Every structure is written in C-alpha cells, then in structure tokens.
C-alpha cells in the first residue's frame, strides 16, 4: 500500500509539472520527485539484500529487473542530465502500478495474449477496408472527390466509420454529393463496424478468460505449495521433538 501511495504521488507530481507554476512550487515538485526516487531506490536495495548471499536471484523476476533498470538509469551520468530521457524515466516509474495491482496485471497478460491472436482479424480488416475503399474510389471519385478522390481519402472515411467517429456527418456530407453513398456506407458498417469489431472483441474476451484461468492455476499452485510447506514444517518439528526426547533418555526410537 505504501508503494502504491508513492507511485500515485509521483504520478501527480509529474502531472503538476506540466502546468505553469511559480519557482517555489517547481522546487517543491522536484523535491517530491527526489523523495519518490529515494523510496524506489530503497525498495530495490531492500530487494537485493533480502536474498542474502545470492543477490542475483533478485533478477529472476522481470519486474525486479524493470525496477532496477529504471532506478539505476536515474543515477547514470549523462542520462540524468538529459531532460527528455529523465522525463521518460520518471514516467516509467508509474508503470510499476501494474506490479502492485493484480487486476491490472491480469489485463496486461490478457492484452499480451490477445495481440498475437488478433493479427488475423487486423489483416482481414485491412484487406476489407482496402477493397471497399477501392470500390468507393471507382464509384464516387468523380462525383465526390473530397471524400473519394484518392484511395487514401476513402480509407480515412472508412476508418472513421469503424471507429464510430462522427459517423453521421461523414455519411451526410457524402450523400449531399451522391445519394448512392448511403448503401455503400451501410454495407460497410454492417460488415466492418459490427462483424469485424465483434470478432476482435471475441478474441480479447477469450484471451482474458485464458489469462484468468492461468492466474487461478497459479493461485492454486501457490496455495498447495504453502500447505505442503506448512506440513513439512510440522513434520520437522515432530522429528526434532522425538529426537530431543530420545536424547533425554525417554526411550523413544529415532524417527526415520
């Protein structure tokens, strides 16, 4: 929770730096940023020391590597003097919020699984949009050059329809020049804006279900491991007690 609070404070300070403010307030924001950097540095050092004589185990976790790189780069000569790189490093600290919120980590895993699976949907969408843009250029380039003068302009119109960006005005402006653009747009909306988008949503939802299932499996494995370790500790305590009783001559046989 403390780490989450520091990340939020750091994000708020970075946002406040973008507004006009006095020199005193700017100095305060920089001090807040330095305090946050100090806290993140302490976190990394504590993580390294927690592994005792095997500090390299700290780097087996990808998030630990990310934290170390961000903190280490903030102290590197040359990088620290570069304003752009320094701002990017400060901004990268906010990404650490994914580590502290399991729900965000789940969404991140789902997005990572959905992107490769969505390649086919993206390719299909691109082919359909290009073919339909060429049809629009062939049919309406003469009557409506402002929207269909080139295949690029036609693609821009279709992209607005897929994104539902000002769809009504796009259709009305084209219909003012040629009424037959109405069925052209309607066919594309029914197939492109509904079918293709729903296909993409289906891939994303399937990836989220897979990520949730994997997360549940990890939680179950962690719970089973904790139970096994607890039983091992109890068994070890029993062994130690039996051996101690035998050494005191109470007649117990050694446990094997």
**CATH of residue 33:** 1.20.120.350
Question: Alpha-carbon torsion 118, 122, 123, 125, what sign?
Answer: positive
List per-block mean pLDDT (blocks of 10 residues) for the chain, which spans 256 residues. Answer: 85 84 85 88 90 85 84 77 69 73 71 75 83 90 87 87 79 86 87 76 76 73 82 84 73 52
Calpha distance 243→101 (Å, rounded):
46
The tally of CA atoms less than 13 A away on the side-chain side of residue 243 is 8
Backbone angles phi, psi at 53, to 5 degrees: -80, 0
Apex 157 CA angle, 156 and 161, nearest 5: 115
Q: What is the pLDDT of residue 200?
A: 76
* Domain identity same for 255 and 163: yes
Please state the domain count of the chain: 2
Domain range spanning residue 30? 2-100
116 shares a domain with 234: yes
Same domain, 92 and 141: no
Which pLDDT value is given to residue 238? 84
Residue 119 and residue 168 in one domain: yes
Which CB contacts under 8 angstroms, 24+ apart, belong to 191-199? 191/128, 192/125, 192/128, 192/129, 192/132, 192/158, 192/161, 192/162, 193/161, 193/162, 193/164, 196/121, 196/124, 196/125, 196/128, 196/162, 197/162, 199/121, 199/124
Question: Last residue of some domain: 100, 123, 154?
Answer: 100
Q: Given 59, 78, 100, which residue is the final one in a domain?
A: 100
Show which of 100, 118, 141 is a domain's final residue: 100
pLDDT given at position 81 = 59
Q: Is the domain of 211 the same as that of 246?
A: yes
Q: What is the pLDDT of residue 80?
A: 63
- Residue 142's CATH number: 1.10.287.70
Q: Return the closest-CA partner of residue 66 out of 94, 85, 38.
A: 94
Give the dihedral of Cα atoms 58, 59, 63, 64; nearest 10 deg.
50
- Are residues 38 and 56 part of one domain? yes
Rounded CA separation 144/147 (Å): 6
Is the domain of 17 the same as that of 57?
A: yes
Asked if residue 145 and residue 63 are part of one domain, the reply reads no
Q: Are residues 141 and 95 in the same domain?
A: no
């Amino acid at each position: 929770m403390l780490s989450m609070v520091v990340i939020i404070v750091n994000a708020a300070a970075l946002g406040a730096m973008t507004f006009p403010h006095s020199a005193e307030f700017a100095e305060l924001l920089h001090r807040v940023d330095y305090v946050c950097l100090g806290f993140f540095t302490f976190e990394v050092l504590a993580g390294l020391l927690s592994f005792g004589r095997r500090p390299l185990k700290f780097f087996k976790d990808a998030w630990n590597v990310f934290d170390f790189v961000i903190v280490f780069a903030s102290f590197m000569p040359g990088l620290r003097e570069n304003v752009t790189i320094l701002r990017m490093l400060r901004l990268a600290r906010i990404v650490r919020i994914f580590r502290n919120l399991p729900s965000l980590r789940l969404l991140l895993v789902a997005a990572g699984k959905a992107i490769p699976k969505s390649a086919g949907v993206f390719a299909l969408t691109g082919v359909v949009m290009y073919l339909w843009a060429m049809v629009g250029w062939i049919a309406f380039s003469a009557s409506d050059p402002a929207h269909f003068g080139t295949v690029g302009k036609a693609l821009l119109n279709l992209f607005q329809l897929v994104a539902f960006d000002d769809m009504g005005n796009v259709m009305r402006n084209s219909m003012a020049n040629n009424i037959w653009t109405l069925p052209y747009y309607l066919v594309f909306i029914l197939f492109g804006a509904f079918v293709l988008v729903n296909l993409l949503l289906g891939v994303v939802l399937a990836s989220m279900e897979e990520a949730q299932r994997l997360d549940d499996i990890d939680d179950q494995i962690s719970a089973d491991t904790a139970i096994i370790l607890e039983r091992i500790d109890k068994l070890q305590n029993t062994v130690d007690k039996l051996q101690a009783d035998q050494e005191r001559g109470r007649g117990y046989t050694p446990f094997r």
